[in-house]
Structure 1
Amino acid sequence: MILIFSDTGDKHSYIVDKGLRQIGEETCHVAYSRLFSDDNPTININDDALQLNIDGKTIKNLPDTTVWYRRQPSSFVTPENMLPEDEWFFNESANYFCGSMSTLFNESFCVNPFKSLGRMANKAIQISLAKETGFFVPNTIITSDPAYVSSFRKQYDTVCVKYLVWMTWGSGTKTRATFTAKIEKNEILESSQIRNSISIFQPFIKKQYEVRITVFGHYMQAVKIPQGVGVDPVDWRKNLNYLAHIKKIKIPYEIREKIIFLMKRMNINFGAFDFIIDKDQKWWFLEVNESGTFLWKQDNCRDINLFAPFVLFLKERNPEFLWDDCRYPDNLDYQKIQSLADNDPQYTRFLSYGFPQPFNKPSQKQ
């Protein structure tokens, strides 16, 4: 059994699920936000065994189950007729249940281990471990203190600010998001701008290009995101049309070795690594996303192959997984699986819900 924890609107998980079924694997695909409205999970502790009932399936051999934590829960569809003042209580209970459910699989092959997910989402730990591993890492502060930011800015001509949490705000045709931004030395920041968000501040590094490396097991694929017309010099995500220009790039041996060593220290077997390469060919570590997307690379670069290897990575449960093109299975053609998914009514319904919005605790009026 391969258990996939994701959420509505997530194309990645559904296509991988389709690929796993195509090669005969039994899967259980869970959308966190609809967990208690659609899947009816129950932890069953009895004389025979500890088991999980979910989505009409019974999972008894917990250590033999492969678990992919593609997404973490943010909010849940609440039962009908629930009073608004009870919704926060329900969401807190649901989050607690999800944590308890995940601990059932501590002895299973998990991508990534649940107890590593929270720790590795901590940017301070990431940056510290990367520096200890020998990567070039920009000097960093994480703060909302205007005095610290002012002192840090005096050391550099230009700094970058990146928010700890990714967020989007939409209103009609306009959307705002927390992209990385550049702050010039003479730019004036109000104290409220700093205090209103805990952020990461680093010196601005003039780059030749950026690199995104996707790693699972010991298999790695990297793409070069070049600088040029149409790409934002600070955050390339502002114009995703530019992804048509990405190219496959070779990963230097010393970078590969450091990545493998760092992942062992982090106790993860999957990661999406971001690097900046400067004019002196130094590779600067920015971050690793322990559940980052990767199929966009194959969508935009024909030389990249990630879909079939990742499906087999989940099937084979090998933390040192490597891919050999000679064993490419005919029934894992990426374009064909995409077409199957696009014509699946369940897939259409899955995407139609959209991504769930984080649940906000109601304010307490005194």
Structure 2
Amino acid sequence: MSGRTVIVVTSTWDLHSDVVISRLRERGADVVRINTEDVPRSTVLDVAFGDGEQGAEVLLRHEDREVDLARVRSVWTRPAGEWTFSENLQLWERAFAAAEAAHVVNRLWESLDCFWMSRPSAIEAASWKGEQLRRARRMGFAVPRTTITTDPLAVQRFRADSRGPIVTTALSGATRSTASGWADPMRTTALANGTATTVTEDLLRPDDRRPPVPCLLQEIVAKRAELNVTIVGDEVFAAEIHVEENRAAAGGSPHALPQGPDCSPATLPESVRARCRDFVHSYGLTFGVLDLLVTPSGEYVFLENNPVGQFLHIEERVPALGITDAVVDCLARNSGG
């Protein structure tokens, strides 16, 4: 490496960061890991503006070292944890502190002139599933019949008009642990682990106590194969999820992907490979994990794209894909190493 710094913005629990950082350091990379839970507890930011034509000096003091952010050449963005503040703060003070921290840190990252995998603004823009579906259809994918609603009666109408079973999933990636006990229109079933949950008659029962939390509903699509497609820079890595072998492990949900699923390498038509890559790049992303289905007639159906998705559970079953190496290569290459 040339002494340029790679920053990984992540959380304490992210195994992907553990693995990639270890590989980068084996190559001699200067890597700084920033867990959002450590801000501002053990990570301090200083932005100073000088007189005249002197530019801003941006320093990051992390644990026992000081990092000049002007030397940063690559940043890898992973799912973040929560900011850490004094337990003595009142609820409104904690909310204000979190908003201020997010505003400063996120805008600071955006100001860095370097390679991103991927910029926070691009990740945010790509995270709205409704727009994902619209864009995917415009780019040539088929998409499931879908509705997003806060109206329990609309849920019932969608179910009645559907040609078969329907599933629901969380829109924001929230979990029960972050939902503070709230129940969404599907009684929090979609918040359990981020996977799709089959909507049963019990979940459709009217309940006036439900708050108007939006839920996404989709018809289940008949499929010949499930595909996981990971985009790293310009590279495309596809794996087929073996449906029958994984159905029991998925808890009976036809759209769910269990951790560590049985899978194998998949060969995509070049037009589909290009479409997947173009879809991710159209948001300004350099990374994305797409979930696709292939119908019995051979049509490719888009389910979603996760701009900070996981890949180790796929690579564990199909090491030959080499996704981790591709991530490391991309970060190292764009940092000058």
Q: Shorter-chain TM-score: which interval?
A: 0.7 to 0.9
Output the CA distance in 2 between the equivalents of 1:43 and 1:237: 44
Contact 1:4 1:13 in 2 (8 A): yes
Output the CA distance in 1 between the equivalents of 2:132 and 2:214: 17
Q: Which residue in 2 is equivalent to 1:231?
A: 249
Contact 1:50 1:60 in 2 (8 A): no
Aligned amino acid, residue 29 of structure 1: R
Aligned amino acid, residue 223 of structure 2: K
1:49-99 Cα deviation digits (max 9, x unpaired) = 32322213232526x621111123x42111365456532222222112222
1:85-137 Cα deviation digits (max 9, x unpaired) = 532222222112222222222x3211112221111111111111111101111
Contact 1:119 1:125 in 2 (8 A): no
Q: Which residue in 2 is equivalent to 1:142?
A: 148
Q: Which residue in 1 is equivalent to 2:217?
A: 201
- Cα distance, 1:310 vs structure 2: 1.1
Tell me how large the CA RMSD over aligned residues is. 2.6
SS of the residue 1:131 aligns to: helix
Q: 1:71 aligns with which of 79, 82, 89?
A: 79
- Cα distance, 1:256 vs structure 2: 0.8
Change (3 A) 1:202 1:192: farther
Q: Does 1:127 align with 2:133?
A: yes
1:287-332 Cα deviation digits (max 9, x unpaired) = 10001111222222232211222101111129xxxxxxxxxxxxxx
If each structure's helix is expressed as a fraction of its own residues, which one has the higher value? 1
Q: Does 1:53 align with 2:69?
A: no
Contact 1:145 1:195 in 2 (8 A): no
Unpaired runs of at least 5, structure 1: 319-366
- Cα distance, 1:272 vs structure 2: 0.3
Q: How does 1:280-299 map to 2 (within 5 A)?
A: 280-299=297-316
Aligned amino acid, residue 31 of structure 1: N
Q: Which residue in 2 is equivalent to 1:152?
A: 158
Q: 2:107 aligns with which of 81, 89, 100?
A: 100
Output the CA distance in 2 between the equivalents of 1:19 and 1:178: 28
- Cα distance, 1:30 vs structure 2: 0.2
Please, what TM-score do these two structures have when normalized by structure 2? 0.82
Output the CA distance in 1 between the equivalents of 2:218 and 2:209: 17
Calculate percent identity across the aligned residue pairs.
Answer: 18
Please, what TM-score do these two structures have when normalized by structure 1? 0.76
Change (3 A) 1:161 1:124: same
Unpaired runs of at least 5, structure 2: 178-190
Runs of 4+ residues over 6 Å off in structure 1:
none
- Cα distance, 1:208 vs structure 2: 2.7
Q: Which residue in 1 is equivalent to 2:294?
A: 277
Output the CA distance in 1 between the equivalents of 2:33 and 2:280: 26
Output the CA distance in 2 between the equivalents of 1:277 and 1:141: 21
Q: Which residue in 1 is equivalent to 2:28?
A: 24
Output the CA distance in 2 between the equivalents of 1:147 and 1:263: 35
Give the count of matched residue pairs.
Answer: 309
Change (3 A) 1:34 1:283: same
Q: Which moved more, 1:187-196 or 1:200-209?
A: 187-196
Output the CA distance in 2 between the equivalents of 1:166 and 1:114: 16
